Amino acid sequence: MAGAGRWELVDGTFRGIENPEAHHPATASYGIRFKDAIIQCEVRMNDVPDEGRKNRYLQIKATDTKDYVCVVTLGQGGLMGKPFDNARINPVSKQRMEGTPVHLPAKIKLGEWHTVVLEIQGAEAVGTLDGQSVTFSDPLIGADKHSIMLVAGTEASFRNFCVWEALPNADWPKNKAANAAKSPPAAK
């Protein structure tokens, strides 16, 4: 979207700056074909004036050839992981609607760096914030992916961006159960 935002490379960080007049976050998309992957980076919601923008957040999204597949979102209240629903299409935007979110509550201060990871293996995904994780799933998550998107609402910085192939982990059933036990129930 023209004018939605801009990106700058400053002191080794990739900084996304939303354009307040556009009412749309800054987005950067990296075309990469993958199925199962681990996407990790250090992120920071920058401590800048909000200039009338409603929300401070950043996202890491995986997309297929049509639309969004899954996302992890970091805001001042913590991390949220969410699949998108291939069976439900927004009649206005023609995009997939969001599925049921899972939340990892945390107080996130502006200007502080955090490590965020999105792991995708088959139809399951794990979102991790500074070593604490939530798990979410949907058949769509298992689709072939075609890009990774970085999103910055207001202003956010990304550094040490890494992507590698996700391989099955023999301890996954035990780790998944531990994540589920720690996760608060989904909002209704």
pLDDT tens series, the chain, 188 aa: 456 789 999 999 999 999 888 878 999 999 999 999 999 999 999 999 988 888 899 999 999 999 999 999 999 999 999 999 999 999 999 999 999 999 999 999 999 999 999 999 999 999 999 999 999 999 999 999 999 999 999 999 999 999 999 876 667 667 667 776 666 555 44
Which H or E run contains 139? Answer: none
Position 92: which residue type?
V
Topology (CATH level 3) of domain 5-182: Jelly Rolls (2.60.120)
Instruction: Determine if the pTM surpasses 0.85.
Output: yes
